[in-house]
Amino acid sequence: MTTLNRPQSPHFTIYRWPLTMVLSILHRVTGVALAAGFPMLMLWLLAVAGGERDYAELSAYLESAVGRLCLVALTFAFFFHLANGVRHLVWDAGYGFEKHQTRVSGFLVIVVTVVLTLAYWLSL
Amino acid sequence: MSLQSPLAKVIGLGSARAGADHWWAQRVSSIALLLLGSWFLVSLACLDGFDYGSVAAFLARPGNAILVILLVITIGYHSKLGLQVVIEDYLANKALKVSALILSAFFHVLVAATAAYAVLMISLGRSV
């Protein structure tokens, strides 16, 4: 495949980012992040299956600052992907395509994500 | 005015020839994950603690074990479908793209199978 080194006008670097665009790429990013988290879930289950010692070893990692940060980030990614995923399902059913509707639902997704993440970790 | 011949219209295949199944499977698995994923997170939060005893006892119960096995299989499926689209979007080189797609599929099957195996061993009370 030949790449043409032609000059291009700047686009996403200079124009304002629409909310819908940000949420769309975030949906993909959180999806990939969750895909990376899947083997971590597997490792956790393997640690439980391995017995007390294996589990304690993994817990030590998870209870570190980096470990906790990863867990919080993963739950944030999960709640965002879930909320925006529901938004997608509503679109698939045929509703909510008007511009103002996508902005409202988009804002709701952010609120729901933050609320769910906070509520979840505070409840633990 | 459609450029499709009547036969093509009846068979219903576009230029990609496949895609509707992927689209629908992604939607069905996402609904399953909505339910299974929420259940799993809430159940974890309701545990007395994340000590080995509480976690192992939770996973060992038949109902929980079955649901978590279903959860990891569904995650594997949904994630495989999702990454497939990402790979198809960003890798234009045919050899790279096909290799990545195959590796991704194998990766998801491996992780799901291993996770399901772990849950099975926990519920059977066998150490791994």
B37 and chain A: CB distance < 8 Å anywhere? Answer: yes
- What's the pLDDT tens digit per position in A16-42? 999 999 999 999 999 999 999 999 999
Average pLDDT over residues B100-110: 98
Measured on CA atoms in the order A107, A112, A118, A119, is the torsion positive or negative?
A: positive
Gyration radius (Cα) of chain B, Å: 20
Query: Mutating which of B29, B52, B71 best tests the A interface, going by the most A Cβ atoms within 10 A?
Result: B52
B98 and chain A: CB distance < 8 Å anywhere? Answer: no
Q: Is the ipTM of this complex over 0.85?
A: yes
- What's the pLDDT tens digit per position in B17-74? 778 889 999 999 999 999 999 999 999 999 999 999 999 999 999 999 999 999 999 9
Contact A85 B111 (CB under 8 A): no
Comparing CA positions, the residue from B29, B25, B110 lying closest to residue A38 is B110
